[in-house]
Amino acid sequence: MISIDELNRILQTKFKNQEIEKIVIDEAFNRVITEDIYSNIAVPPYNKSNMDGFAVNEKSDEYMMIDEVHAGDNRDLKIEGNECTWVATGAKLPEGTNYIVPVEYLGIETEEMASYIIKNQNKIILNLNEDENHILKNSYLSNDPFEENHIVKKGIDIDEGQLLLKKGTKINERNIGLLASAGIKELNVYKLPKVGIISTGDELKLINDVNSKTIGNTVKKAGCEPKFLGVSKDDFEELRELVKTALNEYDVVITSGGVSRGKKDFTKRVIEDLGGVLVHRAKIKPGMPILLGEALDENNCNKPLICMPGNVTSCVIIAEVVVYPFLKSLMHESMDKHIKQFKISEELYSQFDRTVYMPVRIEDGVAYPTFEGSNMIKSVAYADGLVEITDDKKYNKNELVDVWML
Amino acid sequence: MISIDELNRILQTKFKNQEIEKIVIDEAFNRVITEDIYSNIAVPPYNKSNMDGFAVNEKSDEYMMIDEVHAGDNRDLKIEGNECTWVATGAKLPEGTNYIVPVEYLGIETEEMASYIIKNQNKIILNLNEDENHILKNSYLSNDPFEENHIVKKGIDIDEGQLLLKKGTKINERNIGLLASAGIKELNVYKLPKVGIISTGDELKLINDVNSKTIGNTVKKAGCEPKFLGVSKDDFEELRELVKTALNEYDVVITSGGVSRGKKDFTKRVIEDLGGVLVHRAKIKPGMPILLGEALDENNCNKPLICMPGNVTSCVIIAEVVVYPFLKSLMHESMDKHIKQFKISEELYSQFDRTVYMPVRIEDGVAYPTFEGSNMIKSVAYADGLVEITDDKKYNKNELVDVWML
């Protein structure tokens, strides 16, 4: 039998996802880009004002105001000599602007500006001495109106031609701002794997199917959409047809049940018939009977088959430690386990040379094992995480253990 | 000015979500249930066999086989005296079953069972002495076929009437197994808040709108669906109409821009006109101009208005520290911050009596501040987390800091 790490390596090495689709950036949350993205524009696209005030070309005490520029005004203006224009915060600056003189240096408020202009017939006189306290009420203004230029330079946020995001970056709520800012509307991203789920077992006529629901939610947790394809009886032909059809429509086919060695365990025979077995049984507890296969679909594309144990808790654990990382790998995402440390409430050790995944519930900083049997859902339903116990490890009661939070 | 904690407290205390909807469990991933859920059935619903073997009533060396029970067979059978039935793993046990004798005790494999039965005319003779090694090849079988009963008791996983999940539980890939197991098809869950997003600013005629995209992705990260309702010019009537319409359709209305004190900052006047201002400005950097309001919709339902600063990085940070926790509170989820510790690459301290949220990028275990100005998206676009620096705190270079991973 192979280890669970080796099993995951086989699965993730054998099957890769290079399928690409183009989407609009509004749909790009949590998607991974397939190529480097550069900006075609500079941000801001022009020099702009950081203050309400006057754009001036050279230092002076007195200016002639030749125009007004508000945010959203795209005209190409020009100033020279002692000409100035009114510029609102964020406004595009006229060519020749070397300083913004904040409106406070007139000794007035922004609101008083219009009447001041009319009264002074467009003559702007800096009021540096008359009412110093008034001018300097904003602590960030010095007595020298030219000390700081208050100009936000074109391209200071994003340069034209700049690399914005590297291939393999996942779009989030922060880096989408770069794309929006640079005016990027569409992106190439890796397609999400489509996952088809099949349950097997005659007993599902009498008891409720649990595995398709837990597997389905693990698929959703990974960020993919699961599709439940139905229940097969313990019947070779019926299961074979379901799996064969699923292979043509889905990138990953997951079954549960029928992977032991009993006479009604048809799954392995179906895999052998449709393709081949990659792995049967791994050194893991619970979930040892895990079966991995491969088969060609009608387009000769080789597809992975993950055949989960029928026991409900084994199925949940294999979904967490095999299916979830595999889907993340197909999505080109790193598997960033969230590990927290807690005291363990009782002694824990691995068994039979297998890696044990012990489900634990966290309460008041203590991790309590919840496992009571792999065929009972209560063994994992209330767990918050898993403790991984490799073959040679033993944890004493009250020892700090790493818990992989689910 | 109030602190950011106080601002969040006001928002989360004033607005609660008690709206409920009934959904099928396949759509319940990540949803929060509004009531305790009990099981109407026992799981398993009958005593069942844990092995392939024979259901027997009393200890004996020899039995008469009166029937076969396979998984999925729902008949009510009964055995007494030295009668037995064949039972497959998972099969429903006949009334009167006290032990399962595993098939191995006949000295044969499951596959050989049919011919054995014919040959022996339904007489089942335990083969304890003849071929001990054969019988005991499975290390879990003792020499005494009655030592363990191999019966899975009705209700051992779930009792009839048992409390499965408490009100306020979020459905995940583990606990959905309980619901599926108990045959629960539908659930009452809290409705997800509908979030409408409006951008404001004349400058959006010339530069790209960034805030609606970053806010939108924060809303998605929380697990809700955002709806972008358009851009308003810096115009009182236009913004008022957009917000008023949004109030009728959305549970939360988020605007960005126009929250400073300039003459074109209409947002506060719109809020005052439609309802009232709850908070304007908070002791936070970046994002100080944050504005919270409330207003009645056409059904006299009081709705929250969150008016974000226009600066792109301020907007991202306020979305993370105000909008995200608020949505989680409306979804009845706890705000489980993921905190990791890293060395900080430079000295950090709070400023002007405000709580500073410093975006940091993590590289090789070191946190590097990325902030260069609240109006530049590069200040936060490449950040992995935030360092919260409250008013009296100072971190030295290389000191370990808590990073709130985003």
Asked if A214's CB is within 8 angstroms of B72's CB, the reply is no
Does residue B279 have a pLDDT over 70? yes
Of A232, A203, A403, nearest to A320 (Cα)? Answer: A403
Residue B175's identity, in one-letter code, is: N
> What pLDDT score does B389 carry?
95
**3-state DSSP call for residue B96?**
coil
Does residue B105 have a pLDDT over 90? no
Q: Which residue of B has its CA nearest to A113?
A: B263
Cβ atoms within 10 Å, residue B391: 14
Q: Which positions ≥6 away from B238 have C-beta within 8 Å?
A: B232
Distance from CA of B213 to the nearest CA of A (A): 7
| Contact assessment for residue B252 and residue B304, using Cβ atoms and an 8 Å cutoff | yes
Q: By mean pLDDT, which of A42-51, B16-25, B345-354 is the weakest?
A: B345-354
Does residue B261 have a pLDDT over 80? no
Mean pLDDT of A359-380: 97
> What pLDDT score does B140 carry?
56
> What pLDDT score does B403 carry?
98
Cross-chain CB nearest to A177 (options B174, B214, B338): B214
Mean pLDDT of B345-370: 93
> What pLDDT score does A54 carry?
94
pLDDT tens string A231-290: 999 999 999 999 999 999 999 999 999 998 766 789 999 999 999 999 999 999 999 999
Distance from CA of B39 to the nearest CA of A (A): 13
* Residues B241, B244, B250, B252, CA torsion sign: positive
* Cβ neighbours of A91 in B, within 8 Å: 203
pLDDT tens string B139-187: 456 678 888 889 999 999 999 999 999 999 999 999 999 999 999 999 9
- pLDDT confidence of A131, banded at 50, 70, 90? low
Does residue B209 have a pLDDT over 90? yes
Does residue B129 have a pLDDT over 90? no
- pLDDT confidence of B110, banded at 50, 70, 90? confident
Residue A228 half-sphere exposure toward CB, CA atoms < 13 A: 19
Q: Which positions ≥6 away from A24 have C-beta within 8 Å?
A: A185, A186, A187
Q: Which residue of B has its CA nearest to A211?
A: B177
Cβ atoms within 10 Å, residue B6: 13
* Cβ pairs bridging A and B (under 8 Å): 211
pLDDT tens string B190-206: 999 999 999 999 999 99
Asked if B180's CB is within 8 angstroms of A213's CB, the reply is yes
Q: Which residue of B has its CA nearest to A44?
A: B207
pLDDT tens string A277-314: 999 999 999 999 999 999 999 999 999 999 999 999 99
The average confidence (pLDDT) of chain A is 93
Cross-chain CB nearest to A213 (options B72, B177, B221): B177
* Cβ neighbours of B29 in A, within 8 Å: 216-217, 220-221
> What pLDDT score does B137 carry?
53
* Cβ neighbours of A151 in B, within 8 Å: none
Within A79-238, strands assigned E span 83-87, 99-102, 123-125, 151-152, 163-165, 186-190, 195-200, 226-232
- pLDDT confidence of B348, banded at 50, 70, 90? very high
Q: ∠B183-B184-B187 over CA atoms, to 5°? A: 170
Asked if B381's CB is within 8 angstroms of A175's CB, the reply is yes
The average confidence (pLDDT) of chain B is 93
Q: How far apart are CA A295 and CA A253, in angstroms?
A: 10
pLDDT tens string B55-68: 999 999 899 999 99
Cross-chain CB nearest to A52 (options B90, B177, B262): B262
> What pLDDT score does A2 carry?
96
Q: How far apart are CA B87 and CA B79, in angstroms?
A: 12
What DSSP state is assigned to residue A244?
Answer: H
Of B135, B159, B405, B118, nearest to A376 (Cα)? Answer: B159
**3-state DSSP call for residue A356?**
strand
Residue B2 half-sphere exposure toward CB, CA atoms < 13 A: 14
User: Which B residues 350-379 touch A at CB under 8 Å?
Assistant: 359, 375-378
Q: ∠A23-A28-A33 over CA atoms, to 5°? A: 80
Is B181 touching A (CB cutoff 8 A)?
A: yes
Q: How far apart are CA A177 and CA B317, in angstroms?
A: 12
Within A132-194, strands assigned E span 151-152, 163-165, 186-190
* Cβ neighbours of B183 in A, within 8 Å: 208
